[in-house]
């Protein structure tokens, strides 16, 4: 939960869907492109046309419905497909989608293990199927086979599907010599309470969309496509604030109520690609323009957190809860004065404040692109919420980004009292697939 923000859209998109106009996904050659509901060939797909009639009411039976239910809208006053549903992210590009793409309202993270007896050949066929499915669904089209029609009436809704490989994948496929050094297992941290059954995996898929049914449709289709080649190891569901829910674009809040992610690297920064993506000349070659994803299920101990006063919460974080400004004054983007003291000579930003400890300039420049989802999976028998953050961060080398920052947080972060790391994974996410390619082809067929 480092003090960083998602570029271009942890400040959420406005209701008109304009937040992506300054981010890297507007250039297909650089990273996934967001387009209008009209396809690149200028033709509307069947789903895009159907999407212009989104339902606003609930019909109950043939006669309309009982009292308390809204009638289904007529064709004359049906709500048109808005920019929220029309936004499209391109599947093909220099980088995979879902990395620099704007934060999405719904997310699913799922890991698979290859089935017994499945190897490189089966993995290649699976990635080929998955890539075809991702391309079709992200364009707002139905799945190639046995589509469930779950998303039939919706547009693409900024759907992204991202694929990665875990450490164990390489032994299963006989590709140990191609396993990157950067994919070495993460070290143990003293604050970890990891459930091995919900950690790691041979293959990892991240799904994001601005509509819950579109996201679920993609999850279900990807799971069905796995067939006999792979089985689900674990799966987690997350959410963010919906685009347009705030009067103006702003950095997202987490379930603690804090503005979360103010100092994220931004694509406009000259060293952004160097920090987040493996260079084209990187080692191994198949990871060119790829990135490494660290995935952590971080439970927030909300009952304990909410017992604190707002002032005490702000001291834990080092920022104002109201607007994310540093305790030393200014606005959210004002530089934090780490040396400022109060009238009693005490540091205004406590020495163990989360925002102080996680700063790149306090960690040798180590930085990562955070792109999380919140989660809530119900309540324990005693009423304690099982809720928190599905932490996903991206970097060119996790051993130089996530690991040193987490080690420092592990030693003395005031926030650690109120969170628990319950699951973990590290995945190599190759660069985007070119036209005619599938994700991972350079690894599996190289």
User: Catalytic residue numbers?
Assistant: 260
372-406 core/surface letters (b: 16 or more CB in 10 A; e: else): bbbbeeeeeeeeebebbbbbbbbbbbbbbbbbebb
Q: Compute how many other C-beta atoms are within 10 angstroms of the C-beta atom of residue 133.
A: 22
Give 389's Cβ-side CA count (13 Å radius). 28
- The owner of tokens 């890991």 is 111
DSSP sequence for 327-376: TTSS-TTSPP-TT-B-TTS-BSS-TT-HHHHT-GGGTTT---EE--EEEE
SS3 183: helix
**178: closest CA among 109, 123, 116, 235?**
123
The DSSP string of 195-234 is -GGGS--SEEEEEEESSHHHHHHHHHHHHHHHTTTEEEEE
CB atoms within 10 A of CB 116: 7
Query: In this structure, how many other beta carbons lie within 10 angstroms of the beta carbon of residue 189?
Result: 17
Which residues contact residue 183 at a Cβ distance below 8 angstroms, ignoring those fewer than 6 apart?
165, 166, 167, 292, 426, 427, 428
């Amino acid at each position: 939960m480092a003090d960083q923000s998602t570029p271009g859209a942890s400040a959420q998109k406005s209701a008109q869907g304009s937040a992506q106009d300054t981010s890297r996904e507007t250039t297909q050659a650089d990273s996934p492109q967001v387009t209008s509901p009209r396809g690149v060939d200028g033709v509307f797909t069947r789903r895009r046309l159907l999407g212009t009639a989104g339902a606003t009411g609930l019909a109950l039976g043939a006669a309309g419905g009982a009292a308390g239910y809204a009638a289904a809208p007529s064709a004359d006053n049906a709500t048109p497909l808005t920019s929220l549903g029309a936004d499209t992210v391109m599947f093909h590009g220099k980088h995979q989608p879902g990395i620099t793409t704007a934060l999405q309202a719904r997310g699913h993270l799922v890991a698979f293990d290859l089935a017994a007896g499945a190897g490189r050949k089966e993995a290649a066929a699976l990635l080929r199927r998955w890539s075809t499915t991702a391309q079709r669904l992200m364009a707002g089209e139905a799945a190639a086979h046995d589509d469930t029609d779950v998303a039939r009436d919706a547009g693409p809704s900024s759907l992204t599907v991202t694929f990665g490989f875990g450490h164990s994948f390489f032994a299963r496929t006989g590709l140990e010599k191609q396993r990157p050094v950067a994919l070495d297992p993460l070290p143990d941290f003293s604050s970890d309470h990891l459930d091995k059954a919900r950690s790691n995996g041979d293959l990892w898929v991240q799904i994001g969309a601005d509509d819950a049914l579109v996201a679920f449709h993609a999850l279900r289709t990807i799971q069905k496509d796995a067939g006999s080649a792979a089985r689900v190891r674990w799966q987690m569901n997350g959410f963010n604030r919906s685009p347009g829910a705030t009067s103006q674009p702003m950095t997202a809040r987490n379930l603690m109520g804090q503005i979360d992610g103010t100092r994220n690297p931004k694509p406009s920064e000259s060293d952004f690609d160097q920090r987040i993506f493996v260079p084209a000349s990187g080692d191994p070659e198949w990871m060119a323009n790829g990135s490494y994803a660290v995935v952590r299920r971080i439970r927030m101990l909300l009952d304990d957190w909410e017992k604190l006063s707002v002032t005490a919460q702000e001291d834990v974080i080092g920022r104002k809860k109201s607007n994310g400004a540093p305790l030393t004054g200014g606005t959210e983007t004002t530089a934090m004065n780490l040396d400022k003291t109060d009238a009693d000579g005490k540091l205004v930003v406590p020495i163990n404040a989360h925002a102080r400890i996680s700063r790149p300039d306090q960690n040798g420049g180590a930085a990562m692109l955070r792109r999380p989802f919140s989660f809530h999976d119900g309540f324990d028998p005693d009423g304690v919420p099982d809720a928190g953050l599905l932490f996903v961060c991206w970097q060119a080398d996790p051993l130089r980004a996530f690991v040193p920052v987490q080690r420092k947080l592990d030693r003395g972060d005031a926030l650690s009292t109120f969170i628990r790391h319950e699951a973990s994974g590290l995945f190599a996410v190759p660069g985007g697939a070119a036209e005619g390619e599938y994700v991972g082809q350079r690894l599996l067929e190289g």
